[in-house]
């Protein structure tokens, strides 16, 4: 018994070593996922940020057809990278609404002129209030909302070419 | 070549990952009522900044942390309790958003490990004191 106990500290060390080394090879995932997936979209009404482009209210997602809700900003670099993919989704007939985080009209206008405009409407969220109520922790993020205002999926980060199928699948599943 | 690179680095403009907009009204302004501000402050030091994950929102200069401070102060000023504000955020971001994790299946090890350590320590100490006496 005593002989065995002698090995206990060493066993403890080996255990700790394994934990640390496995952490080195598989770093923890630090993305903060929204806990709102599967729940209803919170109620909100955001004013328009551009003349001629409507603002965005949560009622827009109650029309019976799934839509994408894109959280973006003109000052966000990955949003530029994502723009062509959003244009592609738009050309496939996917309706996309947007929430502009901490932004101004002229900056958004410039952004859309440079990168294309895939949005049916853009809501102006100057103090990230709606973003926080969605459980979104950065830009860009995209939510798939079904026709009754339920959040079906959250995509964190820019949408890349390889993400398009999963987004289309989520939209299809939400029909 | 190195010197040229250094000079170029000096010329390069920094890329800002934050917006140019001024902070939200209550991001850096204390509440009028000191009691409410104290409550808000106590809550803010226990909430995680989601962009700069090692910091609390009270410590962080990130835009989003400012907006979260504004949200906390607004809700406290409206008479909401700090617990309900915390719950509101946990409902959206999960337990990760708070530095004061609730006791549940995932956090049981976190809360119980210190008690276990103390128990092991007491057991070891008891053994070694006994030996010395004998």
Q: Do B50 and A32 touch (CB under 8 A)?
A: yes
In a domain, A77, yes or no: yes
In a domain, A17, yes or no: no
**Contact residues of A toward B, CB < 8 A:** 30, 32-36, 73, 75-77, 101-104, 107, 126-129, 131-135, 137-138
In a domain, A71, yes or no: yes
Q: Tokens 């001024």 map to which residue? A: B22
**Could you read off the pLDDT tens digit of each residue along chain B, which spans 134 residues?**
677 777 666 666 555 567 778 888 899 999 999 999 999 999 999 999 998 888 999 999 999 999 999 999 999 999 999 999 999 999 999 989 999 888 888 888 888 999 999 999 999 999 888 866 55
What residues form DSSP beta bridges with A156?
A141
Using a CB-CB distance cutoff of 8 angstroms, which residues of chain B are in contact with residue A28? none
Question: In chain A, how many domains are there?
Answer: 1
In a domain, A12, yes or no: no
CB pairs under 8 A between A and B: 67
Q: Do A137 and B50 touch (CB under 8 A)?
A: yes
Using a CB-CB distance cutoff of 8 angstroms, which residues of chain A are in contact with residue B19? 73, 75, 101-103
In a domain, A122, yes or no: yes
Tokens at B7, concatenated:
């000079």
Using a CB-CB distance cutoff of 8 angstroms, which residues of chain A are in contact with residue B87? none
d(CA A125, CA A70): 12
Query: Which of B63, B68, B97 lies at the smallest CB-CB distance from A102?
Result: B63
Tokens at A53, concatenated:
């482009």
pLDDT band of residue A71 (cuts 50, 70, 90) is: very high
Q: What CATH fold (topology level) applies to the domain B20-102?
A: Helicase, Ruva Protein; domain 3 (1.10.8)
- pLDDT at residue B118 in the model: 96
**Which CATH number goes with the domain that contains A49?**
3.40.30.10
Pairing type for strands A151-156 and A141-145 reads antiparallel
Distances (CA, A) of A48 to A51, A52, B25, B61: 7, 9, 20, 28
Domain enclosing residue A125, as ranges: 45-173
Using a CB-CB distance cutoff of 8 angstroms, which residues of chain B are in contact with residue A103? 19, 21
Query: Which of A34, A75, A126 lies at the smallest CB-CB distance from B92?
Result: A34
In a domain, A18, yes or no: no
Tokens at A104, concatenated:
């101004």
The pTM of the full predicted model, rounded to 2 decimals, is 0.82
Contact B51, A138 (CB under 8 A): yes
Q: Which of B17, B18, B20, B21 to mutate to test the interface with A (most CBs of A within 10 A)?
A: B21
- pLDDT at residue B9 in the model: 67
Tokens at A18, concatenated:
């394994």
Strand spans (E) along B27-86: none
What residues form DSSP beta bridges with A155?
A142
Which residue in A140, A135, A3, A18 sits closest to A70, CA to CA? A140
In a domain, A121, yes or no: yes
By three-state DSSP, how is residue A20 classified? helix
In a domain, A59, yes or no: yes
């Amino acid at each position: 018994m005593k002989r065995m106990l002698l090995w206990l500290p060493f066993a403890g060390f080996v255990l700790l070593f394994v934990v640390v080394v496995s952490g080195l090879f598989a770093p923890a995932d630090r993305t903060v996922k929204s806990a709102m997936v599967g729940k209803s979209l919170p109620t909100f009404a955001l004013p328009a940020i551009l003349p001629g482009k409507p603002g965005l209210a949560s009622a827009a997602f109650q029309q019976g057809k799934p839509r994408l809700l894109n959280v973006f900003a003109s000052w966000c670099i990955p949003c530029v990278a994502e723009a062509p993919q959003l244009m592609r989704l738009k050309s496939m007939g996917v309706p996309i609404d947007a929430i502009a985080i901490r932004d101004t009209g002229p900056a958004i206008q410039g952004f859309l002129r440079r990168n294309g405009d895939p949005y049916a409407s853009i809501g102006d969220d100057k103090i990230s209030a709606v973003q926080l109520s969605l459980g979104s922790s950065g830009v860009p993020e995209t939510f798939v909302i079904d026709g009754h205002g339920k959040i079906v999926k959250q995509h964190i980060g820019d949408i890349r070419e390889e993400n398009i199928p999963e987004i289309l699948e989520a939209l299809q599943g939400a029909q | 070549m190195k010197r040229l690179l250094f000079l170029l680095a000096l010329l390069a403009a920094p890329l800002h990952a934050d917006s140019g907009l001024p902070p939200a009204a209550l991001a850096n302004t204390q509440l009028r009522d000191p009691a409410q501000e104290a409550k808000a402050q106590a809550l803010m030091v226990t909430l995680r900044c989601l962009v700069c994950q090692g910091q609390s929102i009270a410590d962080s200069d990130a835009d989003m942390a400012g907006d979260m401070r504004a949200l906390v102060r607004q809700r406290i000023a409206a008479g909401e309790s700090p617990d309900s504000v915390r719950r509101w955020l946990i409902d959206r971001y999960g337990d990760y958003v708070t530095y004061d994790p609730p006791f549940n299946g995932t956090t049981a090890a976190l809360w119980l490990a210190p008690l276990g350590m103390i128990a092991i320590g007491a057991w070891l100490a008891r053994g070694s004191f006994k030996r010395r006496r004998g």
